[in-house]
Amino acid sequence: MSYEIIKALHIISVISWMAGLLYLPRLFVYHADAPLGSVQAETFKVMERRLLKAIMNPAMIASFIFGLWMLALNHALIYELWFIVKFVCVILMAGCHGKFSKMRRLLENDEKPLSSKAYRIWNEVPTVLMIVIIVMAVVKPF
């Protein structure tokens, strides 16, 4: 498979993963405001679970597979400072994914959620990381 095809599959995977990372905490905001045990709260549980398990987890795995595959084909990147910064941000993004997964489990178990304001703040974390990642990959400032 050519490097360009792998890169395209990586970008598709990342877009899918980012869509989930940007949407899931928005669902948490609405879920936190729904009364416990309500039809609305139960609907959010299903939406959150399906988004995480059917879209986000496979997209994250594919992002790493294709990204590491590209790195294996161009291993000199690991010596570039812009790439190191990008990679650290990607690891932080994966950590954010894990945090969102834990938040979802707590909401599913009807444990006291964070405030909707706290979920709104968490909603911005993937955006900031995404901006840094894209600037590093496209601009390569150092």
The residue type found at 34 is: A
10 annotated to bind ligand? yes
> Please, are residues 14 and 89 in contact by the beta-carbon 8 Å criterion?
no
> Please, are residues 140 and 80 in contact by the beta-carbon 8 Å criterion?
yes
> Please, are residues 135 and 141 in contact by the beta-carbon 8 Å criterion?
yes
Q: Who's near 106: CB < 8 A, 6+ residues apart?
A: 112, 113
Query: Which parts are annotated binding residues?
Result: 10, 86
Query: Which parts are annotated binding residues for heme?
Result: 10, 86
